[in-house]
């Protein structure tokens, strides 16, 4: 098991935050730590999830949906910035590791894997809530129970892959590059009407 981001601690952290009702991103972890960015990433995903639910409404004026879309853009930017923050902080922790000549490039970064685990925790929570409803059919509950098991396996597999990447990185056998996302939707210079 890796000591930089112990996956058991990470999964528990995500699960605890999912149970917390939030309406803003208030970070409790120290400045410039990997856990600060993990927390920002997860809180951003929670806010995105909520805004995406609101954006699917069909009983409100279009202006409300536009405001949801703007909020989605904002939280998605924070989410992506946090992924890059996780990757940056991780690379600072391992900067003295000497790579083997045979070290392999990993296509996915530690930050992107943490982000996927965050989203899986949200899916697990939402799916579990579906199994506890009283206003649905037994078939609906059975389908959700089945999905919950699949999601649980997916999360365990991904957590194992994260451990593998970090451990092999520490051994100098794997590495990754930080690829910038260059999101355009929050930059006014890229949001002009093109004719």
Distance of CA 137 to the CA centre of its chain: 31
Summarised one tens digit per residue, pLDDT across range 45-79 is 999 999 999 999 999 999 999 999 999 999 999 99
Name the pTM for this structure.
Answer: 0.89
Question: Residue 136 corresponds to which tokens in the numbers above?
Answer: 């649905």
Count of structural domains, the chain: 1
- 56 inside domain: yes
- 79 inside domain: yes
Distance of CA 9 to the CA centre of its chain: 15
Q: What is the dihedral of CA 150, 108, 83, 23, to 10 degrees?
A: -10
Summarised one tens digit per residue, pLDDT across range 160-194 is 999 999 999 999 999 998 877 676 666 667 666 55
- 144 inside domain: yes
Range of the domain at 31: 7-182
- 194 inside domain: no
Summarised one tens digit per residue, pLDDT across range 104-157 is 999 999 999 999 999 999 999 999 999 999 999 999 999 999 999 999 999 999
Buried/exposed code over 75-104 (b: 16+ C-beta within 10 A; e: otherwise): bbbbbbbbbbbbbebbbebeeeeeeeeebe
């Amino acid at each position: 098991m890796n000591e930089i981001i112990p996956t058991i601690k990470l999964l528990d952290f995500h699960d605890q935050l999912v149970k917390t009702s939030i309406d803003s991103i208030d970070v409790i972890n120290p400045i410039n730590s990997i856990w600060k960015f993990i927390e920002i990433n997860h809180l951003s995903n929670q806010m995105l999830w909520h805004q995406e639910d609101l954006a699917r409404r069909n009983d409100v004026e279009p202006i409300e949906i536009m405001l949801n879309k703007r909020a989605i853009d904002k939280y998605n930017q924070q989410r992506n910035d946090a992924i890059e923050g996780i990757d940056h902080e991780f690379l600072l922790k391992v900067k003295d590791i000497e790579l083997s000549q045979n070290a392999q490039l990993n296509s996915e970064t530690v930050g992107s894997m943490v982000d996927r685990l965050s989203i899986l925790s949200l899916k697990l929570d939402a799916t579990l809530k579906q199994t506890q409803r009283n206003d649905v059919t037994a078939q609906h509950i059975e389908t959700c129970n089945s999905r919950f098991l699949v999601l649980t396996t997916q999360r365990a597999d991904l957590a194992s892959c994260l451990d593998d990447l970090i451990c092999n990185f520490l051994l100098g056998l794997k590495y990754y590059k930080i690829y910038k996302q260059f999101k355009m939707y929050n930059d006014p210079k890229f949001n002009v009407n093109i004719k």
